[in-house]
Structure 1
Amino acid sequence: MNLTAYHAKFLAYDLTIRKPANDINKFTASLQDAQVDLNPHQVDAALFAFKSPLSNGAILADEVGLGKTIEAGIILSQNWAEKKQRLLIIAPSNLRKQWNQELMDKFFLPSVILEAKSFNQMIKDGVANPFNQENKIVICSYHFARNKEFYLKKVTWDLVIIDEAHRLRNVYKASNKIGNAIKNALSERKKVLLTATPLQNSILELYGLVSIIDDYVFGDLKSFKSQFSRLADKENFDTLRERLQPVCQRTLRRQVKEYINYTNRYAIVEEFFPSENEQKLYDLVSDYLQRDVLFALPVGQRQLITLILRKLLASSSYAISGTLSALANRLEDKISEHIFEERVESDYELFDEIKDEWTAEADEDNFPDNTAVELSDEAVAQIKDEINDLKSFRDLADNIPFNTKAEKLFTALNKGFEKLSELGANKKALIFTESKRTQEYLFNLLSEPGKGYEGEVILFNGTNNDKNSNNIYRNWLEKHKGTDRITGSPTADKRAALVDYFRDEATIMIATEAAAEGINLQFCSLVVNYDLPWNPQRIEQRIGRCHRYGQLYDVVVVNFLNKANAADKRVYELLDKKFKLFDGVFGASDEVLGSIGSGIDFEKRIAKIYNDCRDPASIEQAFDELQDELKDDITERIEDTKKRLLENIDEEVREKLRIDYEKTKGYLNIFERNLWEVTKYYLNGHASFSNENYAFTLNKNPFPAENIHPGPYMVLKPKEGQKKSEVYVPDDTNIYRVGHPLAQRLLIACKNSITVAKELVFEYPKNQTVSTPLENFIGKQGWMQLSLITISAFDEEDYIVIANTTDDGEVIESGLSARFFSLTATEGEECNLPYHTKNHFKEIFINEQENLVEKNTKRNREFFDVEIEKLDQWADDMKIGLQKEIEDFDAEIKLRKAEAKKMLNLEEKVKAQRQIKDLEKKRGDKRRILYEAQDEIDEKKETLLSDVEKRLQQKVGTKELFTIKWKLI
């Protein structure tokens, strides 16, 4: 198709106009800009969160596996495109890197993780508030957000995303310190809460989550309880459902199975019995850790270090050996605590994170502290004995030639690969260990000649500084030199290089917990838990690297089980049977995982059993008690309530999603085609194009003053029946999209181009087989004028309005007129718009502008009515709560007066009357509060009215784009 400058200008404006909040095509540019497949429920959820400019946010409660992160990414992308770039993500600490990576990989959005070290460094460098970032989305953990509440509150956030938001479900309790700190810091900001489990144990949790978004959806806790604690009453139930619908949206897997394929999990258990020396080492170290007084462990961290030692002990003799040496050295050389921590962290990479999580939780189970022990002669002797013990344990560990579990790894891999072969999946295995020393040991073992995996194994950990990883990184940099694949961050690029190498070259990746954060390995479907964490959420996160949205095959999960260890057997039983982590449909563990909060308490309970119980009988008893406590938190009643409260009828949802899908898909196709055509027009003479696969290479930079990659470039435009993720992109190719700097630059250039009034001759295609309305104008000619109308009220909206008439006076409406620019045209001579046509066009524009303003006003009026109705309901709730309290006082006063009358003793009568008087005073106070509450309600309404009045001062701007005299042949 041959475009003119007028085509390019029209299409450039059309590609960048801002659409209303409730327009189904609002996110088209964001979808085209992102490396995500179009799934209608995700667009629907993003639109729900945006639907009203007066809304304070939403709870997106889709079932697990439906891509709530992608929904949030679409919302963030849209904000970013609209220059609303004060964006914050609060997530569990173990998900921060995942967010960081996915924002860049899928949405090309830059972000920064704020944690204690980086925050303190920025403060030291003179940054007043490190949360106040320019051109970066801020990511932090729950605990960090709580600790930095003061700084958090100082930023005028455009939007806050809170992931795994069910962690804040008890915010209505004063004891919930983290929840209340976050709620207080972000009370005036728009928030989107992501959780698959918004209701787990009590209807009050919904009250808590909703209150984080907006304190005015419901009244106070007392009024909520009085109205909604007994949902057997259909009227109350329907009222609550109605109140929740504007703020909470939930879609189920079964409602979207037409668009998303779900795979299963298969569990393989590889059992083993340790050798005699391995068991001896375990028993000796375990007895050591149970001593009343230990001098080697840092003061105040005994419980934490004990947990890590037990995990290293279960991992391998190589893992525990180094830490035993560090403990002995600490006692001998009086090594400072922070150096000891560095030594532990060098092997156990999660040390800092677990330390943060454990110290942030209420720690009621402290072990005996050794701070009170004075270094008497007897204590010095005990220290020497402890040093000797630690060295003997280390020597025993060093003299164990091989680990039984490691030898069993070969058997487990054979079983796993055999299953993958049955499934038709790639021969790839992801092995997880909790220790870097174990990781090195397994690498050397698997890489031995004759073992079958020589040259096919790579490592992945928090540093990735081994020789093999550095070679892979150097080769990757050379391969992608001059492309957008290189981000400039060595850490991120090295991770990407290792993932690419695993996908294309290696068979096995041995990873520490660092790989459970921030990388997606859908091309692999065998996960081996060489060491098994005790926190169920960490296990789910590990498996989720492979078993996630986009996985084509069923995923095989291999776990090792020490048959000689009674506690290990019971832990595995809990993780398998209770938490259902290892088999079944994708995400089956979601409900249960959500019910245990952070998982830290569960991990602590397990650690306590290991430390306190000294024989199989006590271990069995302790686990029986724990299992009894872990009876299903989610009762059938709660499940039924959740379904009826938060879920819509399947057929209704499916039909809506189907219609929206067709609309969005059609508009996205047009959007991508128009971007391609504008790009071809502007880069004509600067680039070589391949229409077949939407690719081009820059031969000459059209913007010499800017650093533009030469290419190649490719638009991710799927063919019919294909998904975006299935489009093959060569490694050296830049992904071209509307948000790419080159696209942004040339769109601006097209919009700013000088387009004087000219004649354009449009050519109707001679091979057109389907009749279109434009056919009626073949052989005719007329005048056309394009203008951009911008309306600023609650939001800013753009409209391209086209005034178009034939020479014989027929008016062609704006939508049909736009179709002219889908035809090839040639430019003719310059011309002048006739005076009478100019006046006619002025009338058309005035009428169109009035219609648009009226539509905008009507829509804003509806938004306003929703807010006022919400405030009225809140006012009624507050009155209900206070009136209930007054009624309770009335009843009690009446009862006390009746009792006082029956009293014969004068002293008792006086005392009773005093109590009645106190009750009457309290009742009076409540009545006064009721009146004050009414004043507060009126004040809140007045504030809303004033805000709306300001924002309703509609500003309407118009800009003439160009005028043409047209002819259609």
Structure 2
Amino acid sequence: MAWQAGCWLWSKSQECYVQLVEEHDLWQIPYCTVLGSNEPDTFCLPKHDLAETGPNWHKTPFGLSYIATAARIANAQSEGDLLSPLEANVIPLPHQLKALRKAFSHSQIRYLFADEVGLGKTIEAGLVIRELKLRRMAKRILVCAPKGLVSQWLSEMLQHFNETFHLVQPGDYKSIDSHENIWTRYDQVVCSIDSIKPIEYRKGWTTKQLHAYNKTRFDDVLAAGWDLIIIDEAHRLGGSTDQVARFKLGQGLADAAPYLLLLSATPHQGKTDAFHRLLSLLDEKAFPDVSSVTKERVQPYVVRTEKSHAINAEGARLFNQRQTELIPVSWGEHHKLQRQLYEAVTDYIRDGYNQAKAKRQNAIGFLMILMQRLVSSSSRAIAKTLSKRLEALEANQLQAEIEFSDDWDDLDGQSQIDDLVQNSSSGLANEKQEVSFLLSLAEQCIAQEVDAKAEALLSWIYRLQQSEQDPNLKVLVFTEFVPTQQMLAQYLSERGISVVCLNGSMDLQERKQVQQDFAGQTRVLISTDAGGEGLNLQFCHVVVNYDMPWNPMRVEQRIGRVDRIGQPFVVKALNFVLENTAEHRVRDVLEDKLQIILDEFGVDKTSDVLDSSASNHVFDELFMTQVLDPAKLDHELAKALEILRDNAQEKRQQDALFGGDIPLQLDEYKNALNHPMPYWVEQMVSSFLHWQKALGKPASINRNAKGFLDITWPDGSTSNNVTFSGKQAQQTTNVNLLTLEEPKVSELLQKLAPWVPSMPIPQIRLTQLPSGTSGFWSLWRISLTSNQNNASRYLPLYCNSDGRYFAAASSRIWEAICQLEFDVLQGAISDDITGPSVIPMLESIAQREGEALFNTLHNEYLIELEREVSKAEFSFEARRRAIERIGLSEVKQYRLRQLELEQIAWNDNISNQRQVFPQLQLMLAVEIVG
């Protein structure tokens, strides 16, 4: 039997209707070329696979309900309804939901998440990961973070989102086949930023060795085919120039995935050129040069919330005001050696710093700065460094002046001193003798005296636990240096106080164990700055800065370890400083002056004027001036305050640059968290399985004794003890959460086939609506297609027998069909005469009512397109200005011609993209009998 081209046939193997394009009978092999209802390309099927009719939706209420519910889910997705907050193990806060909503407001998901420290940027990134996966937009995901944060990413993704990521470390490279790309082993990977940074030179290495090193670390990671790349602490990629390794790494990663998230609480850092480089990673066309860094251009790419504006689910402020107190610690009669050591080391530093400055020996200068901080930290800290310095002087192993890396300022004091002592340049005049004397004095201090600040710390711990009536009060103690950490741990432990330590030399497992111990019975955690990176310690609210970093921004970062979301108490920060020292004198006057600047500019946090990378050097100069020549302190202080005032002004400009986001209203927030999507997905699956069971498939869905669902799919496979509710999954162990990410569930949306002319129209009776309701109800898919985009919406239409359309009833009947609030009138199916006469009437109404919906799709498409046009035109103009500055006329003219040709080609492509095509497809049609 011959079929006519264009007719709809049922494919037994595909289990869907296909449209016949052409029949073939070549060399005694009969087959047909067909077009799937949702397929752009034709394909071939054997003729015996095709039949004139198949299992139509109207034979059971479940078939109709399945199509109606699947269409409703698809419509909600296309309208931008968010799915991930409904099934994560963490309930997002309003600002986190705002970040997610903005991330999916455009098709190009490339953003800078710039919330302040402690506001949960990791959670925001996790929500984006889940949303992309639920929409089946991403599978392969790479997270690049500083070394100290990789364990936090692994644990938070598992704890809050049930996402397993695999840590890939440099050591893994040694154990693999040189031809294997290790980055393709896992779909979800976390690695440290520096482990994949390319190098251009290493002493003693051949070109071949450099190539092999870069291949496994840089080239292979870029070639691994990622869908989404997330870079934490992304401001580190800005670099001092566009030639540094970290920026080159950023450029490579930015080009290696269509979706990109940059995370940084301090993205600007007072350097517009570095900030521009960071933004260019998101969109090179939108930010071709520094002049493009304007509020209008930046705002669409940045999501930022400040702590002062963050609210909880009830609309109350999320963070309490913290209490900070400067604690001067005096030397008593039993601390004479310590006072003598401080003064002697300060004399040595004064002489050494002046010599280094005269000879332009930067390494020695930095070593002297760190020595001054060490002697203020503890006797043991300065003794350890003096000992290493003496060993180097006696062995004559001092090397040439070291080169400071681009990330030198990011290192903590311990890392800097280790680097300098190992690599510092030639000794100073008479230095060996002087260092030997100082070391002897330091060892006397250690043997005969207890550090004054250690005694003060113990006294304050007792005082605090009494005032707060908590004998098990937890205290987080920060120090810059490991020897001080070791001394304090020994001192407190000997006095019956349980202690754990954390520093940058510990591996991930050790860090994890320390955090678990502190969360348990241990009372005191002593951490260095490198060790404290990435800590979430909301269960502790007392921070002691045992020694004070010269840059107060470091103090802010330390306090941020406990001043985080979920902190129920007022955070107390105690800042220890030795009385009548250079550090005490500078800090005493500096804090008062700094507060004046904060009040002047309406800034409520010191970090707002200290997040500039230049601040370190400002404070180095300030403190060293007090050491070298106290009479000049006022002059240096005035200079420093002027820089900080400029930073405050810069902060205002940054606020204006990032501002403009419309805050998420509380009712929007609550509606998003209470979205019925999980119920809809369950309804869709249930209706589909009941429909398949009615067709004779081994499908079932039943509630078990535990109150969860056991599912048998049509192919015979099973899913047991499942729920569709994320909230239920959060509260229960040993239950499996089914979401749209599950292939068997998402496939139900992808199989959504349109109505075909061979289907007669079923008659139904609504059970929950007025009995007099009668007429026709239909569901239409309205689509916009172009050579760059496809978008769809669904339109329900109810009209009475006279063809009069009722908008409100259309949606209510859609709901009723999804909810199975109807009966199919068996034996009362409209015949072939009714169908052909009704469908044209319904299509006429759909064309009339659906035009506005198509225009909405068209306008959304044009807005996105004009955004791309604006970016590209701005980029072309910026490149043209750059070419105009070329001095050689021939080179200039050649490049201008090349640019013009490129722009012509681009204009042609844009013209093609402006052409769009509407489509109108019938998905369901029923006759409602009153």
What SS does the corresponding residue of 2:904 show, helix, strand or coil? helix
What SS does the corresponding residue of 2:187 show, helix, strand or coil? coil
For residues 529-564 of structure 1, give each alpha carbon's deviation from its aligned partner in whole angstroms, at most 9, with x where no partner exists: 223334544432221121123333321101111114
Question: Does 2:457 match 1:409?
Answer: yes
Question: Which stretch shifts more, 206-215 or 305-314?
Answer: 305-314
For residues 293-325 of structure 1, give each alpha carbon's deviation from its aligned partner in whole angstroms, at most 9, with x where no partner exists: 99xxxx998788877776665444455666777
Residue 158 of structure 1 aligns with an amino acid whose one-letter code is D
Query: Offset of 1:415 from its aligned partner?
Result: 5.0
Are residues 130 and 964 of structure 1, via their aligned partners in 2, closer, same or farther at CA, if it must alter by over 3 Å?
A: same
* Aligned equivalents of 1:270, 1:708: Cα separation in 2: 61
Picking from 657, 665, 672, the partner of 1:664 is 672
* Aligned equivalents of 2:489, 2:597: Cα separation in 1: 27
The match for 1:470 is: none
Picking from 750, 764, 770, the partner of 1:776 is 770
The match for 1:50 is: 104
For 1:799-814, what aligned pairs fall within 5 Å after superposition?
Answer: none
The match for 1:531 is: 547
What SS does the corresponding residue of 1:595 show, helix, strand or coil? coil
Residue 613 of structure 2 aligns with an amino acid whose one-letter code is I
The match for 1:937 is: 903
Are residues 195 and 557 of structure 1, via their aligned partners in 2, closer, same or farther at CA, if it must alter by over 3 Å?
A: same
Are residues 784 and 809 of structure 1, via their aligned partners in 2, closer, same or farther at CA, if it must alter by over 3 Å?
A: same
What SS does the corresponding residue of 1:528 show, helix, strand or coil? strand
Query: Offset of 1:688 from its aligned partner?
Result: 1.7
* Aligned equivalents of 1:557, 1:317: Cα separation in 2: 24
Are residues 624 and 863 of structure 1, via their aligned partners in 2, closer, same or farther at CA, if it must alter by over 3 Å?
A: closer
Query: Offset of 1:799 from its aligned partner?
Result: 6.1
What SS does the corresponding residue of 2:906 show, helix, strand or coil? helix
- C-alpha contact (below 8 Å) 2:268/2:275 kept by paired residues: yes
Are residues 736 and 875 of structure 1, via their aligned partners in 2, closer, same or farther at CA, if it must alter by over 3 Å?
A: same
* Aligned equivalents of 1:219, 1:331: Cα separation in 2: 51
What SS does the corresponding residue of 2:562 show, helix, strand or coil? coil
Query: Offset of 1:514 from its aligned partner?
Result: 5.8
What SS does the corresponding residue of 1:561 show, helix, strand or coil? strand
Question: Does 2:649 match 1:648?
Answer: no
What SS does the corresponding residue of 1:938 show, helix, strand or coil? helix
- C-alpha contact (below 8 Å) 2:112/2:263 kept by paired residues: yes
Are residues 255 and 604 of structure 1, via their aligned partners in 2, closer, same or farther at CA, if it must alter by over 3 Å?
A: closer
Question: Does 2:594 match 1:594?
Answer: no
Picking from 128, 133, 136, the partner of 2:188 is 136
Question: Which stretch shifts more, 798-807 or 567-576?
Answer: 798-807
Residue 277 of structure 1 aligns with an amino acid whose one-letter code is L
Residue 544 of structure 2 aligns with an amino acid whose one-letter code is V
Query: Offset of 1:433 from its aligned partner?
Result: 3.5
Question: Does 2:280 match 1:211?
Answer: yes
For residues 660-715 of structure 1, give each alpha carbon's deviation from its aligned partner in whole angstroms, at most 9, with x where no partner exists: 435524xx3423555688899987443524xxxxxx7x999999999999899995
- C-alpha contact (below 8 Å) 1:166/1:594 kept by paired residues: no
- C-alpha contact (below 8 Å) 1:165/1:195 kept by paired residues: yes
- C-alpha contact (below 8 Å) 1:19/1:797 kept by paired residues: no
What SS does the corresponding residue of 1:431 show, helix, strand or coil? strand
* Aligned equivalents of 2:569, 2:867: Cα separation in 1: 46
Residue 400 of structure 1 aligns with an amino acid whose one-letter code is Q
What SS does the corresponding residue of 2:327 show, helix, strand or coil? strand
The match for 1:817 is: 813
The match for 2:425 is: 369
The match for 2:328 is: 271
* Aligned equivalents of 2:398, 2:418: Cα separation in 1: 23
Are residues 366 and 585 of structure 1, via their aligned partners in 2, closer, same or farther at CA, if it must alter by over 3 Å?
A: farther
Q: TM-score, with normalisation over the residues of structure 2?
A: 0.66
Query: Offset of 1:409 from its aligned partner?
Result: 1.3
Residue 52 of structure 1 aligns with an amino acid whose one-letter code is H
For residues 543-597 of structure 1, give each alpha carbon's deviation from its aligned partner in whole angstroms, at most 9, with x where no partner exists: 1121123333321101111114313543576578649999999972342233236
For 1:219-258, what aligned pairs fall within 5 Å after superposition?
Answer: 224=291, 241-248=295-302, 257=311, 258=315
Question: Does 2:26 match 1:30?
Answer: no
* Aligned equivalents of 1:69, 1:585: Cα separation in 2: 29
* Aligned equivalents of 2:228, 2:249: Cα separation in 1: 17
Residue 425 of structure 2 aligns with an amino acid whose one-letter code is D
* Aligned equivalents of 2:598, 2:337: Cα separation in 1: 31
- C-alpha contact (below 8 Å) 1:781/1:806 kept by paired residues: yes
* Aligned equivalents of 1:967, 1:394: Cα separation in 2: 98
- C-alpha contact (below 8 Å) 2:352/2:365 kept by paired residues: no
The match for 1:233 is: none
* Aligned equivalents of 2:588, 2:243: Cα separation in 1: 33
For residues 830-860 of structure 1, give each alpha carbon's deviation from its aligned partner in whole angstroms, at most 9, with x where no partner exists: 8795445766897668986986777545533
- C-alpha contact (below 8 Å) 1:15/1:29 kept by paired residues: no
The match for 1:904 is: none
Question: Does 2:476 match 1:430?
Answer: yes
Structure 2 unaligned spans of 5+ = 1-59, 200-213, 400-407, 688-699, 754-758
For 1:808-847, what aligned pairs fall within 5 Å after superposition?
Answer: 815-820=811-816, 834-836=830-832
Query: Offset of 1:121 from its aligned partner?
Result: 3.6
- C-alpha contact (below 8 Å) 2:118/2:561 kept by paired residues: no
The match for 2:516 is: 497
* Aligned equivalents of 2:562, 2:267: Cα separation in 1: 26
Query: Offset of 1:150 from its aligned partner?
Result: 4.5
Residue 861 of structure 2 aligns with an amino acid whose one-letter code is N
RMSD: 6.3
Q: Give aligned pairs, total.
A: 806
* Aligned equivalents of 2:253, 2:897: Cα separation in 1: 29
Query: Offset of 1:781 from its aligned partner?
Result: 8.7
Are residues 703 and 514 of structure 1, via their aligned partners in 2, closer, same or farther at CA, if it must alter by over 3 Å?
A: farther
- C-alpha contact (below 8 Å) 2:324/2:573 kept by paired residues: yes
Query: Offset of 1:807 from its aligned partner?
Result: 10
* Aligned equivalents of 1:410, 1:265: Cα separation in 2: 22
Question: Which stretch shifts more, 94-103 or 576-585?
Answer: 576-585
Residue 570 of structure 1 aligns with an amino acid whose one-letter code is V
- C-alpha contact (below 8 Å) 1:34/1:107 kept by paired residues: yes
Residue 457 of structure 2 aligns with an amino acid whose one-letter code is L
- C-alpha contact (below 8 Å) 1:791/1:957 kept by paired residues: no
Question: Which stretch shifts more, 519-528 or 833-842?
Answer: 833-842
Are residues 44 and 267 of structure 1, via their aligned partners in 2, closer, same or farther at CA, if it must alter by over 3 Å?
A: closer
* Aligned equivalents of 2:86, 2:226: Cα separation in 1: 26
What SS does the corresponding residue of 2:476 show, helix, strand or coil? strand
Residue 867 of structure 1 aligns with an amino acid whose one-letter code is E
Are residues 215 and 322 of structure 1, via their aligned partners in 2, closer, same or farther at CA, if it must alter by over 3 Å?
A: closer
Are residues 242 and 399 of structure 1, via their aligned partners in 2, closer, same or farther at CA, if it must alter by over 3 Å?
A: closer
For 1:632-711, what aligned pairs fall within 5 Å after superposition?
Answer: 632-634=645-647, 636=649, 638=650, 641-642=653-654, 646-648=658-660, 653-654=662-663, 657=665, 660-661=668-669, 663-665=671-673, 668-674=674-680, 684-689=702-707
What SS does the corresponding residue of 2:706 show, helix, strand or coil? strand
For residues 506-531 of structure 1, give each alpha carbon's deviation from its aligned partner in whole angstroms, at most 9, with x where no partner exists: 55444444652333222322111223
* Aligned equivalents of 1:19, 1:646: Cα separation in 2: 30
Are residues 791 and 803 of structure 1, via their aligned partners in 2, closer, same or farther at CA, if it must alter by over 3 Å?
A: same
Residue 369 of structure 1 aligns with an amino acid whose one-letter code is S
What SS does the corresponding residue of 1:267 show, helix, strand or coil? strand
* Aligned equivalents of 1:808, 1:946: Cα separation in 2: 42
What SS does the corresponding residue of 2:610 show, helix, strand or coil? helix
Residue 862 of structure 1 aligns with an amino acid whose one-letter code is I
The match for 1:716 is: 727
Are residues 39 and 398 of structure 1, via their aligned partners in 2, closer, same or farther at CA, if it must alter by over 3 Å?
A: closer
Structure 1 unaligned spans of 5+ = 229-239, 338-349, 466-488, 690-695, 718-726, 765-773, 887-918
The match for 1:897 is: none
- C-alpha contact (below 8 Å) 2:501/2:514 kept by paired residues: no
The match for 2:251 is: 183
* Aligned equivalents of 2:777, 2:752: Cα separation in 1: 17
* Aligned equivalents of 2:348, 2:702: Cα separation in 1: 76
- C-alpha contact (below 8 Å) 1:93/1:353 kept by paired residues: no
Question: Which stretch shifts more, 806-815 or 398-407?
Answer: 806-815
